[in-house]
Amino acid sequence: METMKKSVSRRRFVGALGAIGIGGAGLGIYQSTGSSQLFSTGRPDDEASGANDHASDHGDHGSSDDDDAVDWEEMDRKHEEGVNAFPAETEGRGNQPLEYEMDGDVKVFEIVCEKGEWEVEPGEVMEAWTYNGTVPGPEIRVTEGDKVRIHVHNEMNESTAIHWHGLKVPNSQDGVPFITQPPITPGESFTYEFEAKPAGTHMYHSHYNAAEQTAFGQVGAFIVEPKDPEERPEYDREYTILLNDWKLGYTINGKGFPATEPLMAKLGDRILIRYLNAGTMHHPMHLHGLTQKVISKDGYMLPEPYNCDNLDLAPGDRKEVIVEADEPGTWAMHCHVLTHAEGPHGMFGMVTAMIVEE
| DSSP tag of 178 | T
CB-nearest residue to Cu ion: 335
54 binds Cu ion (CB under 5 A): no
Give all strands of the β-sheet with 300-308 in edge-to-edge order. Answer: 251-252, 237-244, 270-277, 318-324, 292-297, 300-308
Among 290, 335, 353, 354, binds Cu ion (CB under 5 A): 335
For residues 112 and 337, which CB has a smaller minimum distance to Cu ion in the complex?
337
In whole angstroms, give the CA distance from residue 170 to residue 150. Answer: 14
Residue span binding Cu ion (CB under 5 A) among the ranges 82-90, 124-132, 260-268, 332-340 = 332-340
Q: Least distance from C-beta 350 to Cu ion, angstroms? A: 5
Of 207 and 318, nearer to Cu ion (C-beta) is 318
Q: At 177, is the secondary structure helix, strand, or coil? A: strand
Phi (first) and psi of residue 173, to 5 degrees: -105, 10
- Interface with Cu ion includes 120 (CB under 5 A)? no
Residues contacting residue 140 through CB under 8 Å, at least 6 positions apart:
98, 109, 148, 150, 204, 220, 221, 222, 223
Least gap, CB of 275 to Cu ion (angstroms): 12
How far is residue 330's CA from residue 328's CA, in Å, rounded to a whole number? 7
* Sole window of 5-13, 99-107, 185-193, 339-347 interacting with Cu ion (rule: CB under 5 A): 339-347
Rounded-to-integer distance, Cα 118 and Cα 336, Å: 25
Q: Residue 32 or 280: which CB sits closer to Cu ion?
A: 280
Q: Does 283 bind Cu ion (CB under 5 A)?
A: yes
- Residue placing its CB nearer to Cu ion in the complex, 232 or 336: 336
The Cα-based distances of 166 to 16, 30, 60, 197 in angstroms read 38, 40, 48, 9
Residue number with CB closer to Cu ion (185 or 310) = 310
Nearer to Cu ion, 290 or 335 (CB): 335
Distance in Å, CB of 184 to Cu ion, minimum: 31
How many C-beta neighbours within 10 Å does residue 26 have? 7
Measured from the Cβ of residue 236, the count of other Cβ atoms closer than 10 Å reads: 12
Closer to Cu ion at the Cβ: 49 or 339?
A: 339
The distance of closest approach from Cβ of residue 250 to Cu ion in the complex, given in angstroms and rounded to an integer, is: 6
Is 286 among the residues that bind Cu ion (CB under 5 A)? Answer: no
In this chain, which stretch among 144-152, 191-199, 259-267, 275-283 interacts with Cu ion, using CB under 5 A? 275-283
Is 202 one of the binding residues for Cu ion (CB under 5 A)?
Answer: no
Of residues 355, 335, 329, 273, the one with CA closest to residue 86: 355
Q: Give the nearest distance from C-beta 42 to Cu ion in angstroms.
A: 9
Check residue 337 for interaction with Cu ion (CB under 5 A): yes
The binder of Cu ion chosen from 78, 202, 207, 340 (CB under 5 A): 340
How far does Cα 41 stand from its chain's mean position? 14
> In this chain, which stretch among 19-27, 71-79, 212-220, 279-287 interacts with Cu ion, using CB under 5 A?
279-287
Give yes or no for a contact between 204 and 162, defined as CB atoms under 8 angstroms apart: yes
Which amino acid appears at position 130 of this protein? T
Stretch of residues binding Cu ion (CB under 5 A), selected from 13-21, 65-73, 98-106, 330-338:
330-338
Q: How many residues bind Cu ion (CB under 5 A)?
A: 4
Angle between helix 10-19 and 72-85 (nearest 10) = 130
To Cu ion, the closest distance from the beta carbon of 342 in angstroms equals 11
Minimum gap (Å) between residue 340 Cβ and Cu ion = 3
Report yes or no: 333 and 271 within 8 Å, Cβ to Cβ: no
Q: Is the Cβ of residue 250 or residue 331 nearer to Cu ion in the bound state?
A: 250
Interface residue list for Cu ion (CB under 5 A): 283, 335, 337, 340
